[in-house]
Structure 1
Amino acid sequence: MTIGFMNRRQLLGGLAAGAGLTLLGSANRPALAAGKELVWATWDSNGHPEYVAPFEAKTGAKVKLSYLSSEDAQFAALKTGSASDWDIVNPSLNGAWRYIKGGVLKPLDLSKLPGTAAMYDIFKATDKVKDEKGTTYAIPYLWGLNPIVYRADKYDAEPTYSTLFDPKYKGQLAMRDYALESIAIAALHLGIPREKAFTLSTAELAECKKVLVAQKPLLRTYWQTIGDLTNLFATGEVTAAFSWRVPYDALKDKMKVAMAKPKAGIMGWCDCFGIPASLADDKLELAYKFGDYLLGAEYAAAIAEIGNYATSSSVVRDKLSKEKQEAIFIDNLDVMKTFMWPVAPPNYSEWLKLWNEVKAA
């Protein structure tokens, strides 16, 4: 493991150096953060220890990783105050409005986030992270697509969303425990156009509930962490799931896995950096430094080469191979326009109620 990490570090160091940065230079480590700790609430695919090691080395701070189970649980924890130890949070781009309206995020001082200058225009120009007065509360930092991951040796044809509702595969299927995407997938399965998948009427929601309740006995699980789902693929318990790309990358050299991109609509996602409204003032400077780190070359290089994800910044794009650019969808930036970007609707409380009823059925 140590040798592998050193090889990756050398590779990432070359990429970061190409962007004018040093990966692990601790000789000039500033003293301001010595002994301090930041707790980052994020997904397990976004926050690996090696992804944050350069920041820790440069600042002397410790980044404690607190992995999320769902976006809804993150918002609820912030709203109720039960996550008072979180210093940095991870709202989605299309769900940021809930956090802003809920008053759980601090407004951001963009002058303390110089890395925003290198962001792709689609993320730099978005109003989804602003309130009605134009104040910014979150910064997009990471994006990609969510495919259907499947065992290519178990399926004669590339799965569609309807495959996830097919009794033929009972016990082999998995869905994410997340109301927004799962209900939208049910809508697409029913033939509701992608343009309406996140703006469902009460009647359409009722139809989605019917098929989701019928689907439940077919599922091996509703997965919450991508590590758990990857293990289920590895043990053969799951052969197809609405997923992140992590199981594919982890298992492609060990078994015949593939990623399906349904024609009904590919789900895009974008994660944001945010600071809880409750964060103490003495941690603000360090929190801003970490937010800017997520937009910088070191994090971008690490998560591209190890995690196969792209950040919202162009800072290392030209340093990556053409193959890597293609793998993380930045070879042709027009792809961003083709995704379905999940949007939590104004009646999202109805969606949450429906989802809880499905799981309790």
Structure 2
Amino acid sequence: MKGYLVLADGTVYEGTAFGAVGEAIGEVVFNTGMTGYQEILTDPSYCGQIVTMTYPLIGNYGINQDDFEASRSYVRGFIVRETCTYPSNWRAKETLDAYLYRHRIIGLAGIDTRALTKKLRQHGVMQGLITTLPGTVAEMVAKIKQAPPVFGPQLVQTVTTPEPYTIPGPGPRVVVMDFGAKANILRSLNKLGLELVVVPAHATADEIMAYRPAGLMLSNGPGDPTDVPLAINTVRQLLGELPIFGICLGHQIIGLALGGSTYKLKFGHRGANHPVQDLHSGRVYITSQNHGFALAADSLQQLPVEITHLNLNDGTVEGLRHKELPVFSVQYHPEAAPGPEDNEYLFQQFLQLL
């Protein structure tokens, strides 16, 4: 079956559809990871997006039961150069095609993903429509323009936990504000012996303090951090009350709560090979990243914070630490382990603060 990706500017890519049939609209982005497509598909931070994989062969080790980052996928579509029909891995339980079909996600193979990636790098990420249905280009572009926006506060509301829940542990209690938390962040914290109380993104400062926690963890999540002002205000109220550690969206929320500002990146950072330098040690770490916004470095200059990490590709802020309070954060994902475990020292630092 033929399938199409139509960008908001009218560019059309024709390929072969797999997975589900139908149509979906989302922000078209790309990820440069050579592996990890299962984690990418189930990372809640991709909510509302059509994800393009730049590595040419995807699906070759299938889908297993262990590597999910969430119980379901929130992507709007999945684009690859070539999909593997017969995966080879002892853990595989189903094919990529079967997984996408089961979760009603449209896949598109056989297009020039290198050309699409160049397009997004040159012009920036943009809205697109992935479809298996007939129609003219003009009709498809009109659908994109008429569709409700795939950004805003509803993204975090879609992926956050509806109710608080507890993950038992023998150590100190930490409240995790769930903006779309990857399962491996929770596993990494729990592996340290911490008891975790995971609360919705809209939890108030009083509700969090009622758990009598030793610390607060701010998770990753989708979209623009300025779309969750209630969470920013909650974190602002808790500054100085608890040790706080933020990852990805949580890092941006800390920056905003302290008085900084954010901006949208042209095409974002999505991949497993981003070099980040720890300015304290001088050491460079290879990191996994997935974000479309960043903290503005100049907005932090007059604040009582220091920039601790920088992205060596484009100089963007990858980490910060408060000069007086037990508050720090990183933009990248220390739990994702592309190193493979080089960045676990950050979880140890949080444990020491507790």
Give TM-score scaled by structure 2 length: 0.28
Structure with bigger helix share is: 1
Give TM-score scaled by structure 1 length: 0.28
Report which structure shows greater RCO (CA 8 Å, sep ≥6). Answer: 1
